[in-house]
Amino acid sequence: MTALCRLLILLLAAGFWHSVHAFQIETIAEGLEHPWSIAFLPDGRMLVTERAGRLRIIADGELMADAVTDIPEAYVAAQGGLMEVALDPNYTDNGWIYLTLAYGDRRGSATRLVRGRLQGMRWVDNQVLFTAEPARNRPVHYGARLAFLGDGTLLLTLGDAFDYREQAQKLDSHTGSIVRLNTDGSVPVDNPFVGQRGALPEIFSYGHRNPQGIVVDLESGLIWSHEHGPRGGDELNLIEAGQNYGWPVATHGVDYSGARISPYSSRPGMVDPKIDWTPSIAPAGMTQYRGRLFDGWDGDLLVASLVERSIRRIRLDGREVLSDEKLILPINRRLRDVRVSPDGALYILTDHRDGEVLRVSP
């Protein structure tokens, strides 16, 4: 472990007010190749994915030199590779760990969900649970974030592969959707499109561009997800079964060339976002704060930003957003993920070839 410990000042900018707080930021690990996701084991160890296809372990504050062996091979290209890591809600009983990865080759790839167990430094009992269809020949916009619902099912976000955005409006393709699965990969019988002719039964919601953050509030049952827009039009959405979230028919964003994608920012039968971020912030990982270490934060959403290189703190009141605050960390790095540790501290991943794991506390 790098024992560098810094006292840094974070500026909170929230529309009409500013306040300054002192937080302690500690570098837990460094030298990770584009770390993408982090999870906390009950014994105090941490799991970190590297997009380059490695699963790493941090134990007793030290990044172990060797990666976990026998991990399923990921297609590593552009935005593709090994992405999410998440523990089963019943991990202490069943030991299941879930991974998402890009599966395929340069001719075509798609988001794949697997699960397995750790046996020492080996990945064992690997099971392929789901592979998005169809495969696409553009290795970008995989989505690939996971969240578990209180009923024992899980949600997996899937992007539009950039060049296939019109497919996000179709129910015969997983492109640009959020799917709901049982934890063994089977389809829940109460999914909204089960039995509908021409619709894939896994689809829970559709009309998404590249959703890279999803949270289930287990107290209220509400599902929050955010997604990258193109140039502008990043969104925070309240996800409900069977709903259409508009992309690319309704968007606040424009193409990277400046050309208009759609004349509409809202359409009947399509759900409007709770937040539209224009200019783009490039939202990445998202978590909900549950704890007491940060006073007054319980229940707030925290969003890592790649472009702003900041954390957004979003206060909620039921189904509505009360405020959207920008926490600017004096770290000039892209922020890929943010999670809450069992002791209430924040863990942040910086998305670089020499990426870091940072611990943030009051």
Strands 346-350 and 355-361: antiparallel
CB 25 within 8 A of CB 6: yes
Q: How far is CA 15 from CA 12, 315, 323, in A?
A: 10, 13, 8
Q: Which alpha helices (DSSP H) does the chain contain, by range?
A: 91-94
DSSP 71: P
Tally the residues of the chain: 362
Q: How far is CA 84 from CA 64, 90, 151, 156, 286, in A?
A: 19, 18, 21, 10, 12
59: three-class secondary structure by DSSP: strand
* Residue 192 C-beta-side C-alpha neighbours within 13 Å: 15
Q: State how far Cα 56 lies from the chain centre.
A: 18
CB 78 within 8 A of CB 140: yes
Q: In what order do the strands lie in the sheet with 122-131?
A: 82-87, 97-105, 108-119, 122-131
Euclidean distance between CA atoms 224 and 64, whole angstroms: 34
Tokens of 161: 């592969």
DSSP 330: S
Choosing from 34, 141, 226, 228, the catalytic residue is 141
Q: In what order do the strands lie in the sheet with 62-63?
A: 35-40, 46-50, 54-59, 62-63
Known active-site residue 208:
no
Position 292, amino acid: R
CB 43 within 8 A of CB 97: no
Q: What residues contact residue 122 under an 8 Å CB cut-off, 6+ apart?
A: 68, 69, 70
Which residues are known to be catalytic?
Answer: 141
